[in-house]
């Protein structure tokens, strides 16, 4: 910013000392307009320096504004003195035109950067970072907004997951979570929702359906878990609690029943599902 102001002052002083003056009274309107434009562009340049843009966007916007300022400075002085033709052509017109073009391109890069940030934040609001399935917030919001009178919820918990972390490390635990989530998520169709709701616990939503279909689906999950090898022929098992919504029952009440069913599955030996 200091270098920019120094340029404006030095170039202005040089022009006023070496170029013949115009009748300033006849150019007061043009001079005032150009000065205002210069102040606005310098202010925008200062804002850009204080912002945290992506590196490429910052470079293009800053470079474009600098050239634009060079051109506008010459334009302001053009209302006061009579500069040589090369100053009007190269310093004023060419710098301003190139500066505006580069600034426009920089703004385009800025908008792309903002769009990427928006998409990333939007994804973080609904997706679990580790497993890349829906997260707790998304699952709860989705099911609470469901208008169908009946649906079924599953709560799925990986058995003895703490011992996996203790025996093989958290890297192995993360690997198991990702593999399990990927395989189970592939079983769900577009009308149902699968999510990680915390730690080694997952949940599933099914629209109105026969409870036998849901239990068959749960059995498929139990069998799928047996295909996930931890190490040395040690495979995981899961426990599942199932609750079908009763008319006018609140979502939290259905989740509570599913959680109690999961607890019962754990108490009765794990590696099974229990229907509330």
- Return the domain boundaries, the chain: 2-122, 136-275
Residue 10 has pLDDT above 80, yes or no: no
Q: Where are the beta strands (DSSP E) in 119-200?
A: 152-158, 193-198
Residue 191 has pLDDT above 70, yes or no: yes
Q: Which CATH number fits domain 136-275: 3.30.70.260, 3.30.70.270, 3.20.20.80, 1.10.287.70?
A: 3.30.70.270
Helix pair angle (28-50, 2-18), 10° resolution: 160
Cα 91 to chain centroid distance, Å, stands at: 42
Gap between the Cα atoms of 141 and 60, Å rounded: 41
Tell me the pLDDT of the chain averaged across its residues: 83
Answer with the residue of higher pLDDT: 146 or 197.
197
Burial of 257 (0-12, 13-18, 19+ CB in 10 A): buried
Q: How far is CA 209 from CA 57, 120, 153, 166, in A?
A: 52, 34, 11, 39
Most confident of 184-188, 243-247, 248-252: 184-188
The pLDDT of 189-218, averaged and rounded, is 88
Determine contact, residues 70/95, Cβ cutoff 8 Å.
yes
Q: pTM of the full predicted structure?
A: 0.64
pLDDT of residue 2: 59
User: In sequence order, what are the beta bridge partners of 274?
Assistant: 241
pLDDT of residue 113: 82
* Residue-wise pLDDT tens digits, 104-145: 998 888 888 888 887 777 777 778 888 888 998 888 888 888
* Residue-wise pLDDT tens digits, 210-219: 788 889 999 9
Q: Which residue, chain included where needed, has tokens 């498929």? A: 220
The pLDDT of 147-176, averaged and rounded, is 89
């Amino acid at each position: 910013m200091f270098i920019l102001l120094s340029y404006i002052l030095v170039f202005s002083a040089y022009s006023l000392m070496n170029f013949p003056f115009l009748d300033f009274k006849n150019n007061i309107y043009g001079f005032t307009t150009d000065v205002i434009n210069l102040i606005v562009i310098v202010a925008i340049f200062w804002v850009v320096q204080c912002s945290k843009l992506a590196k490429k966007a910052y470079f293009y916007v800053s470079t474009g504004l600098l050239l634009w300022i060079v051109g506008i400075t010459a334009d302001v002085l053009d209302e006061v003195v009579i500069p040589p033709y090369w100053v009007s052509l190269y310093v004023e017109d060419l710098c301003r035109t190139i500066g505006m073009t580069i600034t426009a391109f920089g703004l385009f890069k800025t908008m792309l950067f903002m769009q990427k940030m928006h998409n990333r934040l939007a994804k973080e609001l609904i997706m679990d970072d580790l497993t890349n399935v829906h997260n707790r917030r998304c699952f709860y919001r989705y099911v609470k907004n469901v208008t169908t009178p009946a649906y079924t919820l599953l709560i799925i918990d990986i058995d003895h997951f703490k011992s996996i972390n203790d025996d093989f490390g958290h890297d192995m635990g993360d690997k198991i979570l990702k593999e399990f989530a990927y395989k189970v998520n592939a079983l769900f169709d577009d009308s149902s929702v699968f999510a990680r709701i915390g730690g080694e616990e997952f949940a599933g939503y099914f629209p109105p359906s026969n409870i036998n279909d849901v239990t068959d689906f749960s059995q498929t999950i139990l069998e799928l878990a047996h295909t996930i090898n931890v190490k040395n022929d040690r495979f995981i098992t899961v426990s599942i609690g199932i609750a079908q919504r009763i008319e006018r029952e609140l979502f939290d009440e259905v989740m509570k029943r599913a959680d109690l069913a999961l607890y019962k599955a754990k108490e009765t030996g794990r590696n099974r599902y229990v229907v509330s």
